[in-house]
Amino acid sequence: MAKKLSWWALLIILPFALLCGCGEMGKVDQGRVIEFNEAKGIVTFIQDVKADVGNPDYSGAPHVYTMPKDPNERGADPRAGKRMKLDPKAREIVIYDSATQGLKHISYTLIDEKDDVDKNNPLVKDKKFPLVDKAKKTVTIYSGRQKILITFSLPEEYFALPDNTWEAGDEVRVYYKEPGKALRFMNISQTDIFKK
pLDDT greater than 60 at residue 132: yes
Long-range (24+ apart) CB contacts under 8 A made by 99-102 are: 101/62
143 membership: H or E segment, kind and range: strand 138-143
Mean pLDDT across the stretch 7-31? Answer: 59
Domain boundaries, the chain: 23-80+169-196, 83-162
Are 45 and 62 in contact by the 8 Å Cβ rule? The answer is: yes
Superfamily of domain 23-80+169-196 in the CATH hierarchy:
Copper binding periplasmic protein CusF (2.40.50.320)
Higher pLDDT, 73 or 8: 73
Higher pLDDT, 47 or 3: 47
Average of per-residue pLDDT across 103-120: 95
pLDDT tens digits, residue range 157-187? 999 999 899 999 999 999 999 999 999 999 9
SS3 183: strand
What was the pLDDT predicted at 16? 42
Distances (CA, A) of 81 to 31, 33, 50, 78, 89: 12, 6, 20, 10, 22
Per residue in 65-111, pLDDT (tens digit) is: 999 989 899 889 999 999 999 999 999 999 999 889 999 999 999 99
Per-residue model confidence (pLDDT) at position 190: 83
* pLDDT given for residue 193 in this prediction: 52
